[in-house]
Structure 1
Amino acid sequence: MSSYHDYQKQIAELQAKAEAARHAEVAEAKAKIKAIMSEYGLTVADLGGASRQAPKTPRKPVEIKYKDEATGDTWTGRGRAPKWLEGKDKNQYLIR
């Protein structure tokens, strides 16, 4: 019967063999891909993979819907209502 130490040693050996096999398979796959690409004159761009995204255009600022003429405070109407509008009729401050 094998001991724990023997199993750990076998695991380490198998992991090393698996890593070596993976490196060999990856190298072989790369060689095949390069051969096929050169045979057909393909480039990475032709494969249509991870292309760069176009830069996002900046958003237009939200228009102001409410304004307190006395203080100049404004609110777009989005999100939580500001303190200066608390307990007041919003329609009085609506920009027309």
Structure 2
Amino acid sequence: MATYRDLKAKAEELLAQAEEARLAELQQAIDQVRALVAEYGLTPEHVFGKKRTRANGAAPKSATAKYQDPRSGKTWSGRGREPSWIKGKNRERFLLEA
């Protein structure tokens, strides 16, 4: 019966071989993609699509900061999970001046 150390050594050897094979196949895939891009004159927009924009063509805006931590200067828009510096506290004292 094989010992734990023997099996662990075999597993590490197999992992190394698998990573080597992955890198070789990855390089083949990259070479194929580069050849197709060159052959057809593809652009990043062709491959990955266009960036999402609004109906008027403007890029989506990120939410503006509504609250600020006076100690660290970190800000929060009021969307998503509450940061630890504001959680459970009165939000009015963290409001930014408009």
TM-score, normalised relative to structure 1: 0.52
Listed as ranges, the gaps of 5+ residues in structure 2 are 54-58, 64-98
Deviation track 1:43-93 (CA, whole Å, cap 9, x = no partner) reads 1121234736513287xxxxxxxxxxxxxxxxxxxxxxxxxxxxxxxxxxx
Which portions of structure 1, spanning 4 or more consecutive aligned residues, are displaced by more than 6 angstroms?
Answer: none
Amino acid at match of 1:26: L
From the superposition, tell whether residues 42 and 7 of structure 1 become closer, same or farther in structure 2 (CA, over 3 Å). same
Residues 9-48 of structure 1: pairs in structure 2 closer than 5 A: 9-48=9-48
* Root mean square deviation of aligned Cα: 2.5
Larger radius of gyration: 1
Aligned residues with identical type, % of pairs: 41
Amino acid at match of 2:60: P
TM-score, normalised relative to structure 2: 0.51
Residue in 2 that maps onto 1:55: 60
